[in-house]
Structure 1
Amino acid sequence: MRYLIFLLILTVSCTKEDKKPNIVFVFADQWRAQSLGYAGNPDVLTPNLDQLAKEGVNFTNAISTSPVCTPYRAMLLSGLYPLKNGMFMNDVTLNPESNSIAKILKKEGYNTGYIGKWHLDGNGRSAHIPEERRQGFDYWKVLECSHRYNNSNYWGNDDQLHSWEGYDAEAQTKDAIAYIEEQSKGENPFCLMLSWGPPHAPYQTAPQEFQDLYADADIQLRPNVPVEMSEKTKAHLKGYYAHCTALDTYIKQLQDAIKLANIEDNTIFVFTSDHGDLINSHGETKKQRIYEESAKVPFIVKYPELLGKEGKSSDFLLNTLDIMPTLLGMSGNPIPADLDGENITDIMLGKKPDHREAALVACIQPFGQWSKKRGGREFRGIITKQYTFAKDLAGDWLLYDNIKDPFQLNNLVGTEAYKSISSELEILLMKKLETLDDEFFPGTYYTSKWNHHIDETGTVPYVN
Structure 2
Amino acid sequence: MSRRTNLLYIFADQWRAQGVGYANEDAVLTPNIDQFAKESMVFSNAVSTFPLCSPHRASLMTGKYPFNAGMWTNCKNGLDEVIMLKPQEVCIGNVLKENGYRTGYIGKWHLDAAETNFHDKPKSGAVDWDAYTPPGERRQGFDYWLSYGADDNHLDPHYWADSDEQIKPKKWSVEYETDKALEYMINMNQKDEPFALFLSYNPPHLPYELVPNEYYERYKEEPVHFRENVPKEYQTEELKTITRQYFAAISGVDSQFKRIYDFLKENHMEENTLVVLSADHGEMLGSHGLMSKNIWYEEAIRIPLMIRKKGSIEHRTNEVMFASPDHMPTLLDLLDLEVPDTCQGYSHKNNIFDISAEEPQHAFICSYPGMPKMVKEFQKRGLNHKCFGWRGVRTKRYTYVVHNGYTPDEERKILLYDNKQDPYQLTPAVVEDRKQNELIMELDGYLKDYLEKTGDPFLLD
When normalised by structure 1's length, the TM-score is 0.87
Aligned counterpart in structure 2 of residue 175 of structure 1, from 177, 180, 183: 180
SS at match of 2:44: strand
Q: Provide Cα deviations, 1:30-67, integer angstroms capped at 9, x if missing partner.
A: 00111111111251001111111110110010010111
Aligned counterparts, 1:224-303, within 5 A? 224-231=229-236, 232-303=238-309
1:370/1:279 Cα in 2 relative to 1: closer, same or farther (>3 Å)?
A: farther
1:369/1:287 Cα in 2 relative to 1: closer, same or farther (>3 Å)?
A: farther
1:138 is the counterpart of 2:143: yes
SS at match of 2:259: helix
Cα offset for 1:370? 9.0
Determine the C-alpha separation between the residues in 2 that align with 1:88 and 1:303: 34
Determine the C-alpha separation between the residues in 2 that align with 1:400 and 1:86: 29
Q: Provide Cα deviations, 1:176-222, integer angstroms capped at 9, x if missing partner.
A: 01111111111000100011110011111211111000011111101
Determine the C-alpha separation between the residues in 2 that align with 1:131 and 1:416: 53
1:219/1:303 Cα in 2 relative to 1: closer, same or farther (>3 Å)?
A: same
Aligned to 1:411: 428
Aligned counterpart in structure 2 of residue 114 of structure 1, from 95, 105, 115: 105
Cα offset for 1:130? 1.2
Aligned to 1:59: 43
Structure with a larger share of its residues in helix: 1
* Aligned AA (1:136): G
* Aligned AA (1:406): P
Determine the C-alpha separation between the residues in 1 that align with 2:192 and 2:459: 50
Cα offset for 1:435? 2.8
1:422 is the counterpart of 2:440: yes
Count of matched residue pairs: 422
Aligned counterparts, 1:87-126, within 5 A? 87-91=71-75, 92-124=83-115, 125-126=129-130
Aligned to 1:322: 326
1:262/1:158 Cα in 2 relative to 1: closer, same or farther (>3 Å)?
A: farther
CA contact 1:63–1:319 (8 Å) conserved in 2 = yes
1:391 is the counterpart of 2:402: yes
Q: Provide Cα deviations, 1:260-292, integer angstroms capped at 9, x if missing partner.
A: 222111111011110011112111121111110
Determine the C-alpha separation between the residues in 1 that align with 2:156 and 2:373: 26
Determine the C-alpha separation between the residues in 2 that align with 1:234 and 1:354: 43
SS at match of 2:32: helix
Aligned counterpart in structure 2 of residue 357 of structure 1, from 344, 348, 361: 361
Cα offset for 1:369? 11
Aligned to 2:335: 331
When normalised by structure 2's length, the TM-score is 0.87
Aligned to 2:126: none
Cα offset for 1:127? 3.3
1:378 is the counterpart of 2:389: yes
Residue range with higher mean Cα deviation, 345-354 or 145-154: 345-354
Determine the C-alpha separation between the residues in 2 that align with 1:97 and 1:422: 38
Aligned to 1:31: 15
Aligned to 1:401: 418
Q: Provide Cα deviations, 1:405-451, integer angstroms capped at 9, x if missing partner.
A: 10000010237999332222112222232333334259xxxxxxxxx
Determine the C-alpha separation between the residues in 1 that align with 2:74 and 2:443: 29
1:222 is the counterpart of 2:227: yes
Determine the C-alpha separation between the residues in 1 that align with 2:366 and 2:342: 20
Cα offset for 1:372? 10
Determine the C-alpha separation between the residues in 2 that align with 1:368 and 1:209: 39
CA contact 1:288–1:370 (8 Å) conserved in 2 = no
Residue range with higher mean Cα deviation, 33-42 or 388-397: 388-397
* Aligned AA (2:262): D
Which ranges in structure 2 are unaligned for 5 or more consecutive residues? 76-82, 116-128, 378-385, 405-410
Which ranges in structure 1 are unaligned for 5 or more consecutive residues? 1-14, 443-464
Determine the C-alpha separation between the residues in 1 that align with 2:152 and 2:345: 30
Determine the C-alpha separation between the residues in 2 that align with 1:167 and 1:321: 31
